[in-house]
Structure 1
Amino acid sequence: MTVFLFELSFYLAAPVWLLMILAPNWSWTSRVAASPLTVVPILMVYLGLAAPVFPDLWAAVREPDLETFRALVALADGAGAIWAQVIAWDLLIGQWIYLEAHRMGLHPLVTGPLLVLTILLSPIGMLLFLAVRTARRTSPAPAPTTAGQSGLR
């Protein structure tokens, strides 16, 4: 059952990721990405995996140290619970990136690869998106053109 739940956590997130990457301009994609409820099924999987190892999980978060955490993830349900938690939080990060990129008018060919990187290595995807967002905010605005000028030189 643990292996099934471990895999299910990703499969529950995959449709949202696919919408954001492959159908970024579809009206339903923005609606889905704007909802934090997308992670609820994944968090239910998390609870199913965390319940059997709750004493170990509580020990790992109550007084965190590397050995206690290592003991938790050595348990199949413990590793599965941590995985489901990571999948849920990565999805929330991806949804925020998608919505923020959409708001900024960032082209989907830029946003898509950032989202893929966020699925695989969310801290790197997030950092790169923040760099793109900062660069976009600090880039100079184009010079205004008057009615008689084409803007081409």
Structure 2
Amino acid sequence: MTGFLFEITFWLTIPFWSLMIFAPKLPLTARIMSSPLIAVPPLVVYTLLVAAHLPQLWVTMSSPDLDTLREFLATAWGASAVWAQVIAWDLLIGAWMYRESRRLGLHPLLMGPLLVLTIVLSPFGFGLFLAIRAFCDRSDRATSVVTGQ
């Protein structure tokens, strides 16, 4: 069961990532990505994984140390739970990046690769987006630098 939950976690988010990357200008995409409920599917997986292990999870997270965390992550359910949590947070970060890109008028051909980078290596994708956002959101810079408009 744990292996199945691990495998399905990412696939539950694919529809949301696909909308942001392949249909960013659709009104439906904007409406869906404005809801924090998009994180519910991986969080349901997280809940299923940790429900039977709440006391152990509490001990691990309430006073973390490296050895305890290493033991936790060495279990199939622990690694799968952390994976589900990471997938949920990455999706929320990606949705925020999507909304900000729409506000700034960034071109989808710029945002598509940034969102893919965020899926794979979220700290790098997010960091790069923050740099682009800071550059484009300055009052003395027009978004035309990135969008060509």
> TM-score, with normalisation over the residues of structure 1?
0.88
Aligned length: 142
> Could you say what secondary structure the match of 2:12 adopts?
helix
Identity, % of aligned positions: 56
Partner of 1:72: 72
Q: Counterparts in 2 of 1:103-114, with a 5 A limit? A: 103-114=103-114
Partner of 1:123: 123
Partner of 2:51: 51
Task: Measure how far apart 1:107 and its partner are.
Answer: 0.4
Task: Measure how far apart 1:57 and its partner are.
Answer: 1.4
What is the CA RMSD across the aligned residues, in angstroms?
A: 1.2
- Structure 2 CA distance for partners of 1:73 and 1:141, relative to 1, 3 Å: closer
> TM-score, with normalisation over the residues of structure 2?
0.91
Opposite residue 47 of structure 1, the aligned amino acid is T
Task: Measure how far apart 1:141 and its partner are.
Answer: 4.5
Task: Measure how far apart 1:51 and its partner are.
Answer: 1.6
Gaps of 5+ in 2: 143-149
Task: Measure how far apart 1:140 and its partner are.
Answer: 3.3
> Could you say what secondary structure the match of 1:106 adopts?
coil
Separation in 2 of the partners of 1:26 and 1:98? 12
1:17-68 deviation digits (Å, cap 9, x = unpaired): 0100011111111011101111112111100011232222111111011111
Q: Counterparts in 2 of 1:1-153, with a 5 A limit? A: 1-138=1-138, 140-141=140-141
Greater radius of gyration (CA): 1
Separation in 1 of the partners of 2:35 and 2:134? 25
